[in-house]
Amino acid sequence: MTIKGIDTVVYSALDMDEAHRFFNDWGLKRTRNAKSGMVYNTAVGSELIVRPADAKNLPTPAMPGDHFREVIYGVSSQKHLNDIAKDLSRDQDITIDKDGTIHAHDPSGFGIGFRLWKRKDKVTAPRAPINAMGSVERVDECSVFYERAQPIRMGHIVFIVPDLKAAEKFYTERLGFIVSDRYAKGRAVFLRYAARSDHHNLFFIQAGNGKVAKIDHIAFEVRDIHEVFAGGLYFSRKGWATEVGPGRHPISSAYFWYFKNPCGGAVEYFTDSDHLTEKWKPTTYKVNKFSEWHLVDGIGEPAGSPSMAADAPRR
C-alpha cells in the first residue's frame, strides 16, 4: 500500500467566524487558531485547514472565487514520495516544503499534495451494539443515542470536472489509483487509492457544461448509522442546511447525510461503506442511481416531550 489516506484538506473562507462555527458544530476539534488560519482534526489526526480568503499562502483554486484549495494525501514511504515528485516534475512546476510535502495541481486545476503519512491508522471508536436475527450483541440493556457526531477520518473527496477521461487517466496511470466502478455513459468514475480500501476514496463527476471544475463534497466517516442520524440532527438544530439526506447509496452501500458547506460544496457523514480487495471487478452501471432511498431535506423534530428523549442513555 502506498497512499494511506487523506491527510489534509485546505479551504479559504470569506467569513472565518462562520467557518469556525460550521466545522466546530460538525464535530471537528480545533487545534490551532491564528490570523493565518484555523486547523481542525479528525479522530485519526488528519487536518482540515481554513485560511482567510486573502491569505498569501493559499494554493491557486481550480476556478476563480472557489474556496476549496487543496487536498494532501498521506503516503507510506519516502521512496514513494520521491517517486511522485520525480514523476510530477516532468510536466509541472511542483513545490516542496521543508517537511517534504509536495504541492502540485491535477489536470482539472485542483491543488493536490503528498506527504509522509504520520496519522493514526486506527482509533478506538466502537460502534453501538446491535441485535439482529441470529446475532444478539445487546442483552438486558437499552441501546445508546449519540448527542452529536465525532468524525473519525476523511474517507473520500468528490470533484466535478470538465474532462472525466483526463482526470481518470492522471490518477490511475500516474498516482496508482484503481477504478472501483463507473456510472453509465461516462458520467462518473469511482476510484480508490489502494487495492484493499473503501469502495472509493476519490470520485469524479463529469461537468454538465464541460467547463466547470469544482468540489462536490468531502465525506467524514462516523462509527455507525446511529451517529449519522445523531450528527445530522445536531447539525440541523444548529441551523445548518441539509444538501440531501439522510439516505443510503446503492453503490458503496454506505449510509449518508450531506450538508451545504459555506466554504464550498458539501460535507457528508457516512458509515458502513463496502470494503474492496484485489478480487473486486468494476461495474459500469446501466442506470445512474444516487440512492436506494433518501430524504430530501433532513429529518423533522421528533414528536413527544423533550424530557422523554433526555432520559435515554447517551455516549
Report, in this order, helix, strand and coil percent for the chain, each rounded to 5: 15, 35, 45
> What is the rounded distance in angstroms from the CA atom of residue 1 to the CA atom of residue 156?
17
Band of residue 125 on the pLDDT scale cut at 50, 70, 90: confident
Task: Please name the residue ranges forming H helices in 41-190.
Answer: 78-88, 164-169
SS3 at position 208: coil
Domain ranges for the chain, please list them. Answer: 3-116, 153-294
Band of residue 95 on the pLDDT scale cut at 50, 70, 90: very high
Res 240: pLDDT: 98
Res 302: pLDDT: 60
Q: Which residues pair with 32 in a beta bridge?
A: 39
> What is the rounded distance in angstroms from the CA atom of residue 1 to the CA atom of residue 4?
7
Q: Are 162 and 142 in contact (CB under 8 A)?
A: no
Band of residue 204 on the pLDDT scale cut at 50, 70, 90: very high
Q: What is the pLDDT of residues 57-84, one digit of tens each?
A: 899 999 999 999 999 999 999 999 999 9
Res 211: pLDDT: 85
Q: Reply yes or no on whether the pLDDT at 91 is more than 50.
A: yes
* CATH number listed for the domain at residues 3-116: 3.10.180.10
Q: Reply yes or no on whether the pLDDT at 27 is more than 60.
A: yes
Percentage of the chain exceeding pLDDT 90:
86
Res 306: pLDDT: 42
Q: What is the pLDDT of residues 154-203, one digit of tens each?
A: 999 999 999 999 999 999 999 999 999 999 999 999 999 999 999 999 99
Q: How many residues are there in the chain?
A: 315
Q: What is the pLDDT of residues 207-237, one digit of tens each?
A: 988 789 999 999 999 999 999 999 999 999 9
Q: What is the pLDDT of residues 98-108, one digit of tens each?
A: 999 999 999 99
Q: Reply yes or no on whether the pLDDT at 259 is more than 60.
A: yes
User: What CATH architecture applies to the domain 153-294?
Assistant: Roll (3.10)
Mean local confidence (pLDDT), 299-305: 62
Topology alike, domains 3-116 and 153-294: yes
Label the pairing between strands 111-116 and 178-182. Answer: unpaired
> What is the rounded distance in angstroms from the CA atom of residue 66 to the CA atom of residue 263?
8
- The whole-chain average pLDDT of the chain stands at 93
Q: Reply yes or no on whether the pLDDT at 308 is more than 60.
A: no
Res 272: pLDDT: 97
